[in-house]
Amino acid sequence: MGFTRWAAAHHVRAALVGARRRGVDVAPLLERAGIGPRELAEEHGRVTGAQFVALTKALWDALDDELLGLASAPLRVGTFAMMAHAVVHCSPDLRTAVRRADRFYRLFPAGPRFELVEAGPLARVEFDLSDYDDPDRFAAESLLVVWHRSASWLIRRRIGLHRVELGYPAPPHALEYGLLFGAACRFDAPGTAVVFDRALLDQPVVQDEAALRAFLRRAPWDILARMDYGQEVSAQVRRLLNQALGDGAADGLPGPEQIAARLSISPQTLRRRLAAEHTSFQQVRDRLRRDVAVSALARGDASIETLSERLGFSEPSAFHRAFRRWTGATPRSYQGSYQEPGRGSMASFRS
């Protein structure tokens, strides 16, 4: 059993702001991506990751601007690819890659501005957002996501963030930030930054020309819809839990003892390794439960009671509480609200 990653309808609407400012008719772009008015109208509406990727490509084609019309000047499509080539071929480690990327983008009037700061055991990448007309915070969120996932790809392991600092008040969609970053987010901070272990800067850049070509062919899928880049324990735990769901485990999801046994390590070692990745078994399990629940309810192919039991909750009320904590909405608001791509009039995309 698989699951589909989803993007909030808020992010779809925010992605269209720059195009509308430039007088672009966005209706054909939405149609090309298989996104209908129903998804955008729902308060907690969602589209699949594949639909969001298709919309991003359509916006790139229409605007020739990787910043989607949100900065003071366009950044032509292909700029990110040239930066990636410069970084992959000339960077022995992540520290060098981050600094080279910063210098590359400073060659362009509207290039993203960020600075690497090292202090004690932590490193920060601080972003300058002053050049953006971004009332929905879409550019800010996108820059942080692109930086985090691109850097993770370079070293072939997901960079566990200690926290994300946002130099603006919590927006109405603040609950989505946990889905975006998988880390604690602090609003009204002095600036906007991601914070992580300084030691990761010493990790070698392990991607090469062939890997980069494949990465760019799939762009922006691997950045916008893919989360895991290596063989970290948390990724292995998630895969095993997802496999158990697909196998229809009669006793619900396996616990840490069973997963540790599958990995041929002790539960204590599993706990330590997950902690080193700034997560826990409970967090990994809850993120999987959340993704599976959102996907199943949006497709309308399972009742709340059935889904609650399948995900290992003792009773539906416990599932209701957890779902509201994860998404800020009730399960009922998602149930049967949308169609999967490939059903009805939606176009079919890889998920």
Domain residue ranges in the chain = 6-63, 79-224, 233-334
Q: Evaluate if residue 344 carries a pLDDT over 80.
A: no
Name which CATH class applies to 233-334: mainly alpha
| pLDDT per residue as tens digits for the range 105-150 | 999 998 999 999 999 999 999 999 999 998 899 999 999 999 999 9
| pLDDT per residue as tens digits for the range 229-279 | 555 788 788 888 888 887 655 456 889 999 998 888 889 999 998 888 778
| pLDDT per residue as tens digits for the range 295-306 | 777 767 678 888
Helix axis angle for 233-246 and 267-276, nearest 10°, is 120
- pTM, to two decimals: 0.73
Q: Could you tell me the CA-to-CA distances from 63 to 19, 29, 30, 76, 146 in Å, in that order?
A: 7, 11, 14, 9, 19
